[in-house]
Every structure is written in structure tokens, then in C-alpha cells.
Amino acid sequence: MVPELQLPPLTRSTLFLVATPIGNLEDITLRALRVLRECDIVAAEDTRRTGQLLKHFGISKPLLSYFQFNEARRSEEIIARLGRGEKVALVTDAGSPGISDPGERVVKAAIAAGFRVEAVPGACALVTALTASGLPTGEFHFIGFLPHKSGQRRNKLESLKSFAGTLVLYESPYRIGRLLGELSEVFPERQVVLARELTKKFEEFLRGTPAELLALTQSRSLKGEFVVLVSGG
């Protein structure tokens, strides 16, 4: 009979950065579930969405709302809780906290205050798309979301022309056509991969030049969040 594995208790006064599924709920890790069960409170970007996730896995925990516009104030509260010896799990809506999502400020504040920060790895749209894109993975540059203003977006893309590795961006379905138009002007000959609905039922990878993909988006409706990958120079 195999003996039951005895895991050490979670360390007090620790901020746990817990990656959550980006689509498929089976992608949550055993470690993530354990941290969510054993922590004192869960700081969540969207408490309703996280509440549904916890309910699905039979977990009941107090939830603390933190998002882009209250992150500074919530950071102070989280630091105070860590100071009282609490174990705080930080989650975003999907994926790894701090990757184009709130969390970075909280992490910096916790480290500056001398508290332990522990990452609980798991699903991440960036890595999922890059590894399945077919583009080189040895060197890549992650941009996240481009600025909203046209001039700033164009300047950012122009500054990336000389980069030899694969470029990785996030984009919403409402601006994907705009982005492909910009890529057609700045990187007309590059290979582009659109990864959408990652880990979900309708996951799809679309490959081609910016112009080819722009024509495709004009002929059919493409929903879901996008990871956009551009071959290197």
C-alpha cells in the first residue's frame, strides 16, 4: 500500500500567485487547488468570476476584490494581512497574475515590505500560443496589449522591426482587424499566427501574412481573445 504523501503546510505571511485556467477548467493544477483551499483569503480581479471557479471545485473562501483602478489601495490591505500572518492567494480572471493583468503592483509592494512571494505556475496564454504557433521559440519578445492611440501603436510596432525573435501580442476581438491592418503596413512580409479561444472548444490557430489574415477576418466573424504572434526580422 502506497503511503499518503504528507505535504508541508503553507507558509504564513506569504503572497501566492495562483495561475487559473484560461478556458479549460481541467488545466488547473493540484497545487493551485491546494493553495486555494488552504489560504486565508483570495484576492481576485473579478470576485464573481473567481467565486464561480471556487464553487466548481467545492472551495469556499473569503474574496477580496482588486483590479487595475483599486490595486494601489488593495495592495496596502494585502500587505496588512500578510503582516498579520495570513496566507493570501492572488488570482486574475484567467492565467497567471501580473501578465497583462493586475498583480504586478501587489507583488512589488509585498517584496518591498519583506514578505515571501510564491508563484504557483499553471495556464498562461502567452506560453500556450507560442509553443503551438510553429514560430521560433528560442527568442521572443512579449509586448502584451498595444496602446489604444494610433500614433503610439504605430511607433511601438516600428520600434520592434529590428528584433530577431518572435513577437507576441495580446489583442481583443474588437481591434484584431485594426491590428492586422497595422501589421500589413509595418511587417507586410512576416508570417503571423492568430491564436484564439485557447484551450476552449473552438480553439483555433490561423496562419498567414497580415494581408491574408486581414482578408480572412473580413469574411468571417472571429470571436474570443487573441494571442498574435509575428515572425522575427
pLDDT, tens digit, 9 for 90 and up, residues 18-37: 999 999 999 999 999 999 99
- What is residue 224's three-state secondary structure? coil
Say whether pLDDT at 1 is over 80.
Answer: no
Give me the amino acid identity at 72. A
Q: In sequence order, what are the residues at sequence separation of 6 or more whose Cβ sits closer than 8 angstroms to the Cβ of residue 139?
A: 164, 165, 166, 232
* CA-based max dimension of the chain: 66
Percent of the chain with pLDDT over 90: 85
Radius of gyration of the chain (CA): 20
What does the alpha-carbon distance between residue 223 and residue 82 come to, in Å, rounded to a whole number? 40
Can you spell out the DSSP letters for 71-118?
HHHHHHHHHHHHHTT--EEEE-SSBSTTSSSTTHHHHHHHHHTT-EEE
pLDDT at 5: 65
Strand ranges inside the chain, DSSP E: 14-18, 41-44, 63-65, 88-91, 116-120, 140-145, 166-171, 192-196, 204-208, 226-230
Which of 20-24, 97-101, 111-115, 174-178 is the least confident region?
97-101
Contact 148, 221 (CB under 8 A): no
Residue 20 region by backbone torsions, left for phi larger than 0, else alpha for psi between -120 and 50, else beta: beta
Say whether pLDDT at 187 is over 60.
Answer: yes
Contact 183, 208 (CB under 8 A): no
Residue 24: alpha-carbon gap to chain centroid = 14
* Alpha-carbon dihedral sign for residues 149, 150, 155, 161: positive
- Give the mean pLDDT of 134-142: 97
Mean pLDDT value across the chain:
93
pLDDT at 54: 97
φ/ψ of residue 193, rounded to 5? -120, 125
- State the residue for C-alpha cell 494571442: 227
Domains and CATH numbers, the chain: 14-120 (3.40.1010.10), 125-230 (3.30.950.10)
Say whether pLDDT at 2 is over 60.
Answer: no
**Cut 0.75: pTM above it:** yes
Give me the amino acid identity at 155. N
Contact 79, 114 (CB under 8 A): no
Exposure string of 179-189, with b = 16+ CB inside 10 Å and e = fewer, is bbebbbebbee
